[in-house]
Amino acid sequence: MRSLKIAFVLIALPAAVLIYWSISSNEEALAEADQTATAWKCADCEHEFDLTAKAATMELARAGGTMPLHCPACKKKEAYRVSTCLVCETKYFSTDVPGGTGMCPKCYPTSPEKDEENELPEKNDPDYDPPPPSV
Ligand SMILES: [Zn+2]
Ligand SMILES: [Zn+2]
């Protein structure tokens, strides 16, 4: 039975190390994965880019711990977090950004067309007077 015990140690120990290694490397990979990426946009040049959670933390530290972050395109400190519209996937600024509406500019234009102007008389309306027949 002694040889069996040795065999168990020889197999189990490297397996445990392997499992530990794969778990820890998975966590690292997860931090770099796209799922943790957030969308950002420069308010100055409108450059859109993604930052992983790790990169965002580093950028925030580089920005002095306050928003906005530095834009990788124009290098200005004008990059804010953006939300993505679930309907048309347009990226837009939230309300905590100066000038941000918090709504998709395509689905919710800032100057919506007035619906009141479309009040035309309907022919089914009992009060509707038909135009006099031309003789
Ligand atoms: Zn920029
Ligand atoms: Zn939209």
Residue from 94, 40, 48 nearest 69 by CA: 40
Per-residue pLDDT tens for 96-115?
A: 888 888 999 899 886 655 55
Residue 91 host element (H or E): strand 91-93
Q: Please state the domain extents for the chain.
A: 37-109
Per-residue pLDDT tens for 55-76?
A: 999 999 999 999 999 999 999 9
What's residue 45's pLDDT? 97
Query: Separation of 88 CA from ligand 2 center, angstroms?
Result: 4
What's residue 100's pLDDT? 87
Query: Separation of 91 CA from ligand 1 center, angstroms?
Result: 15
What's residue 23's pLDDT? 65
Beta carbons of 109 and 120 less than 8 angstroms apart:
no
Mean of per-residue pLDDT scores for the chain: 80
Confidence check: pLDDT of 43 > 90: yes
Residues flanking ion ligand 2, Cβ below 5 Å: 85, 87-88, 90, 104, 106-107
Query: Separation of 80 CA from ligand 1 center, angstroms?
Result: 10
